[in-house]
Amino acid sequence: MSNILHSQDRSDVLAHVAENLRRIRLASGLSQTALAKASGISRRMIVAVEGGDANISLSSLDSLAAAMNVGFVDLVRDPSRHSRDNIDAVTWRGQQAESEARLLASAPAASEAQMWLWSIAPGERYDAEPDPQGWHEMLLVTEGTLTLELGGDRKCYASGAFTVYSSAQTYSYVNDGDDVVRFVRNVIS
């Protein structure tokens, strides 16, 4: 499975992204063309996302947020909830119902800190694009065994195990087992 934000219904995070992107872009005084140039994301994609008609990668959302000088969380949170410490939004779904990433909360860091709750069904994977230099992830496996592909290496982490690594490289979360894998993911930038 890719790292694309997929919509399941209009009440989920893509509806929030559509509303937040347009509101923040306009408040920033940016046209869609100017935002496209500043973010490296095509104007066509920005139009489609603002219209709620497109899926978008998480890294592309990061690029849009950075171009508008806001955090990733500002784009994905429910606009009716103003708290950054209780976001609770599904931002990725796999092919199977047991596979999802839920952004739980965010806290200030040098730039930002995020806490996620992930579950990956047997046979599924999440392939991530590299984050900017200086970003790190901390994973704590709470159920099953997670295989982390990082820098060409594969390492398995059973329930109770954890790891910290630079996410400024290609990495993947893989469930090679027969049971759902659940883990907490903290992203620090």
Radius of gyration of the chain (CA): 16
Taking a C-beta distance cutoff of 8 angstroms, is the pair 181, 110 a contact? Answer: no
pLDDT of residue 8: 44
* Sequence-ordered list of residues with C-beta below 8 angstroms from that of 48, at least 6 positions apart, any chain: 54
What are the boundaries of each domain within the chain? 4-76, 94-188
The whole-number pLDDT of residue 108 equals 67
pLDDT along the chain (189 residues), means of 10: 45 82 95 96 95 85 93 86 69 85 76 90 94 90 97 94 91 97 94
Report pLDDT for 36: 96
CA dist., res. 67 & res. 85, Å (int): 23
Q: Which CATH number is correct for 94-188, 2.60.120.10, 1.10.3720.10, 1.10.940.10, 3.40.50.300?
A: 2.60.120.10
What is the CATH architecture assignment of 4-76?
Orthogonal Bundle (1.10)
Mean pLDDT, all residues of the chain: 87
> 5-11 contacts: CB < 8 A, separation 24 or more?
5/55, 5/56, 5/57, 5/58, 5/61, 5/91, 5/92, 6/55, 6/92, 6/93, 7/52, 7/55, 8/90, 8/93, 10/52
3-class secondary-structure state, position 37: helix
Distance CA 162, CA 25 (A): 38
